[in-house]
Amino acid sequence: MTIAQINGTGIRLRAFRADDADALAAGFDDPLSQRFLPQMPKPFTIAHAERYIAERVVATFAEGGALYAIADPDTDELLGGIGFDKVVPARRQAEVGYWVGPWARRRGVASAALRALSAHALSHGLERLELLTHWDNPLSQRVALAAGYTREGVRRGAEPGRTEGREDMVVFTRLATDSGDPVPRLLPDLPGGELTDGVVRLRPLGPGDTSFLAELLGQPDVVATSVPPVPPTPQRIHQRCFWAEAHWLAGTRADLVIEDAATGVPAGDIGLYYDDPHTQQAMIGYSMLQAFRGRGFPTRAAQLLSLWVFAETDVARLIAGAMPGNVGSQRVLDKAGFHKEAFLRSRLPGPDGTRTDDVQFVLLAEDLLTEGPRLDG
């Protein structure tokens, strides 16, 4: 079997060889690989690697797919692997997947390999490639976007669950007609990974925040002003923390933790919800722990987030809502520069099947320019 060699930026795709077994075993036995490749044996031994090269690679090519070694073009060192399978000839489509050894990560290896393989496959008979990632695998989602893959949606129950049941998978696709250029994002990363004014710091919500978020969102007054007004389940808390980066990459929402800049202690959260990009309107919402109230933290957080939104995204209108009786939240929005715009009757679901009114506020970029910050008090 002769396998075409594919050259990419800083990588070369070549056939697997018997002497790749040691590195292949180390790559598949790595904790990150084990986490996102649950079908692989645990532990993954050199014997498993030898069978993979002798049997799995050959079988994949025989079935119309491909499995390539990702190698360093100068040293020929094995850096990872990439390929496609689940080929549907009638539709000219296939599913692509890859892995990179821990010794080669954070070097752009995966993106370069995916670009090279995709360009080759889409110019040799295939017209559509799919890449499926777990919700809690934002690194793979970043690779997909960098390689010109568009987030298409979520495939429900696409794979057996890593613990039980089945798992949804996020689907990215690239067509032969796509340019292959990195896909623009509606919500870019924060500069330096955070926003701060020296008093508060905003950073992305992440997997390590489950206990904090459970405490914050379990406060009775926070529950009462939530939509719907019920405390989130532990599963929802887990998903919100572990899936936060995926939502950010999708451009639908940005969840941030408000920290006391002096101590680094989490004090609250603030979120940006970009549900209406066609009209360029987004919404913010926030909550604070009791111990940090009365210190102006949510006002500062709202202003920091607003400044970033208008400077770095195409959002033209930023809205926020508060229940008529929630005077404290309305005061926060007023100090942050928002203007009261409407009283929406029975807009939100309330407790026991009731409906609640909503006071809506709006902020435009020119409001910040003409009025400036109001952080006194």
The mean per-residue pLDDT over the stretch 346-367 comes to 92
pLDDT digits (tens, 9 = 90+) for 238-262: 999 999 999 999 999 999 999 999 9
* pLDDT recorded at residue 377: 43
- Tell which wins on pLDDT, 2 or 66: 66
CA pair distance 360, 59, nearest whole angstrom: 60
* pLDDT recorded at residue 164: 85
CA pair distance 360, 367, nearest whole angstrom: 16
pTM reported for the whole predicted model = 0.93
- Residue 368's pLDDT band (cuts 50, 70, 90): confident
Residue that has been written with the tokens 């539709």 in this structure: 91
Asked whether the predicted pLDDT for residue 232 surpasses 90, the reply is yes
pLDDT digits (tens, 9 = 90+) for 43-72: 999 999 999 999 999 999 999 999 999 999
Tell me what percent of the residues of the chain surpass a pLDDT of 90.
87
* pLDDT recorded at residue 1: 44
pLDDT digits (tens, 9 = 90+) for 250-293: 999 999 999 999 999 999 999 999 988 999 999 999 999 999 99
Please report how many Cα atoms fall inside a 13 Å half-sphere around the Cα of residue 73, on the Cβ side: 12
The mean per-residue pLDDT over the stretch 336-354 comes to 92
Q: 49 vs 29, 44, 55, 149, CA distance in Å?
A: 10, 7, 10, 30
CB contact at 8 A, 44 and 29: yes
In degrees and rounded to multiples of 5, residue 239 shows phi and psi of -60, -40
* pLDDT recorded at residue 2: 54
CA pair distance 21, 47, nearest whole angstrom: 8
The mean per-residue pLDDT over the stretch 282-311 comes to 96
| 280 φψ region: left (φ > 0), alpha (ψ -120 to 50), beta (else) | left
CA pair distance 126, 120, nearest whole angstrom: 9
In 3D space, the residue among 315, 364, 312, 291 whose CA is nearest the CA of residue 191 turns out to be 312
CA pair distance 138, 32, nearest whole angstrom: 12
CA pair distance 163, 36, nearest whole angstrom: 12
H/E segment holding residue 356: strand 355-364
* pLDDT recorded at residue 113: 98
Domains of the chain: 6-175 (3.40.630.30), 195-371 (3.40.630.30)
Average pLDDT, the chain: 94
Kindly write down the DSSP assignment for every residue of 96-153, as one continuous string: EEEEE-GGGTTSSHHHHHHHHHHHHHTTTT--EEEEEEETT-HHHHHHHHHTTPEEEE
Tell me what percent of the residues of the chain surpass a pLDDT of 70.
97
The strand pairing partners of 85, in sequence order, are: 95
* pLDDT recorded at residue 228: 84
- Tell me the one-letter amino acid at 324: P
